[in-house]
Amino acid sequence: MKPSHKNQCLLTFLAIGLSCFFVISCDHTNSRKMTPPELRDQSGRAEGEITELKISNAVDILFVIDNSESMGVHQQNLSRNIDRLVRAIEDNNTLDYHIGIVPVFDSRYGTEIPNFNPNGHLLPLKGDTRGLPTHYYTREHNDIGLLSRSLLIGILPLRDKNGNYQGPEHEQIFSPILSTFSEPALSAISNQSFYRPDARLAIIIITDADDSSTNISYRQLNEELRRLKQSSDGSKISTFGLLAATDKKNGCAKVDPGMIDGKPTKIINFLIESQGQQFSLCRGDFPNMLAEIGKTIQEKTEKQKIQLQDIPELGTIKVFVTADDYYEATQVCDPNDKVCQDNQKKKTELQDWSYDPLHNQIVINSIPSDTPKENKLIKVQYTKVYMTNVRNGRAQRY
């Protein structure tokens, strides 16, 4: 016997109800984790969604100079040839650098040495800074003589004529490095604005002794610097040592209480740990050494890895360097509009870069040397891709 129309409706209703019950009750935990579908247009991108990242093309360079009485000749060599380092750095017009100077420290005699510079405090520049920073050198100073005089920090003999201590005996190198970027020195008037969190960091040590710091090891210093720059692989940090060993045939002999087997072992270990470079004070070719250091700083500052927050759509990435005050024009510039034309010069598109899909990073290899010096900000522009559209063929990722 055929069921009546009323019974058919009732059976259908019960079947639908039971189906819904089983679907809902199968896995209520997973159902709460489901997310709504992505909102997107047919091209695979959110309408008008463009991401921009700005990275400062800057480096802070700290010279740590031994001012014990055996360092006079080496300071003079540094002072005479510093232009080679600066010229190498300035080969890139866009590189924004700060150069600060601190002497070594010796804490073993406490208050017995009144002439010591406070640990980690930058020394003042020697000359007229014309309203520019007084304790660190920049491209804007444009006075190599000012920097040259400032690097000649002078020497302090171990004892004065009355036999009182006045100069370093146990030179501490690691301690002033760490102190420069720590409180209270970091907030001191001498150090204000020198350190920039988003800049690269370069440390240049010049000494004929080994480190005698009592509160930090070479490994701890390297770890602290990496933590400071948030650089687990150390790629944001460059280290250099112009060092001496007990080697009379090279005219650079030094007998120091901190030396082990005639070598500055702790500093060498720090340079190895931080993937730095070691040079000899005894080589006699300061110009080439400083030029090499400057070139390395320039290249490492140019080569940057920029982490993207989203996966870019294929073919949408563009990388620029721009001036701080650059603005995007809403229309094509009129040839007679000087303001607009000048603004266009404040933006340079980079070509020497690559995309690393494994780490979702932009790797910048170099910046053209003729880029206007005002263009200091690196800007990455791209369109975010939605993976749903990649899967259905509406968009492509790198």
Do residue 371 and residue 333 come from a single domain? Answer: yes
What distance in Å separates the CA atoms of residue 43 and residue 389, rounded to the nearest whole number?
8
What distance in Å separates the CA atoms of residue 144 and residue 240, rounded to the nearest whole number?
21
Sign of CA dihedral 100, 103, 108, 111: negative
SS3 51: strand
Q: According to DSSP H, which parts of 27-119 are helical?
A: 28-33, 72-89
Q: Residue 78 belongs to what domain range?
A: 58-303
Do residue 212 and residue 360 come from a single domain? Answer: no
What is the pLDDT at residue 44?
42
What distance in Å separates the CA atoms of residue 99 and residue 387, rounded to the nearest whole number?
46
Q: Is 94 exposed, middle or buried (0-12, 13-18, 19+ CB in 10 A)?
A: buried
What distance in Å separates the CA atoms of residue 242 and residue 290, rounded to the nearest whole number?
10
What distance in Å separates the CA atoms of residue 298 and residue 57, rounded to the nearest whole number?
10
Q: Which of 303, 332, 363 is the last residue of a domain?
A: 303
User: Which residues, 6+ apart, have CB-to-CB distance to 272 below 8 Å?
Assistant: none
Do residue 381 and residue 279 come from a single domain? Answer: no
Q: According to DSSP H, which parts of the chain are helical?
A: 5-26, 28-33, 72-89, 144-151, 174-180, 218-228, 265-273, 286-302, 338-344, 387-391
Spatial CA neighbour of 274 closest among 209, 219, 228: 219
The answer to whether residue 26 sits within a structural domain is no
Do residue 322 and residue 274 come from a single domain? Answer: no
Do residue 256 and residue 314 come from a single domain? Answer: no
Decide if 378 contacts 364 (C-beta within 8 A).
yes
User: Which residues, 6+ apart, have CB-to-CB distance to 130 below 8 Å?
Assistant: 141
What is the pLDDT at residue 250?
54
Q: Which of 252, 273, 303 is the last residue of a domain?
A: 303
Do residue 249 and residue 344 come from a single domain? Answer: no
Do residue 148 and residue 269 come from a single domain? Answer: yes
Do residue 359 and residue 210 come from a single domain? Answer: no
The answer to whether residue 10 sits within a structural domain is no
The answer to whether residue 98 sits within a structural domain is yes
Q: Which of 278, 303, 328 is the last residue of a domain?
A: 303
Do residue 278 and residue 318 come from a single domain? Answer: no
Residues of the chain predicted below pLDDT 50: 10-11, 13-14, 16, 18-49, 111, 255
What is the pLDDT at residue 330?
72
Decide if 88 contacts 144 (C-beta within 8 A).
no
What is the pLDDT at residue 396?
62
The answer to whether residue 41 sits within a structural domain is no
CA-angle at 106, arms to 100 and 108, nearest 5°: 155
What is the pLDDT at residue 258?
53
Do residue 96 and residue 174 come from a single domain? Answer: yes
Do residue 155 and residue 289 come from a single domain? Answer: yes
Could you write out the DSSP letters of every residue in 231-284?
A: -TTSTTEEEEEEE--S-GGGT-----TT-BTTB-HHHHHHHHHTT-EEEETTSS
What distance in Å separates the CA atoms of residue 84 and residue 377, rounded to the nearest whole number?
26
H/E element, 161:
none
The answer to whether residue 40 sits within a structural domain is no
What is the pLDDT at residue 261?
65
What distance in Å separates the CA atoms of residue 137 and residue 289, rounded to the nearest whole number?
20
The answer to whether residue 166 sits within a structural domain is yes
What is the pLDDT at residue 366?
86
What is the pLDDT at residue 296?
97
What is the pLDDT at residue 397?
65
Spatial CA neighbour of 58 closest among 21, 26, 97, 90: 97
Distances from the Cα of 42 to the Cα of 45, 315, 383, 398, angstroms: 8, 17, 14, 19
Q: What is the CATH number of the domain that holds 170?
A: 3.40.50.410
Q: How many domains does the chain have?
A: 2
**Tokens, residue 87:** 């010229």
The answer to whether residue 336 sits within a structural domain is yes
The answer to whether residue 258 sits within a structural domain is yes
Q: What is the largest CA-CA distance in the chain?
A: 128
Do residue 174 and residue 232 come from a single domain? Answer: yes
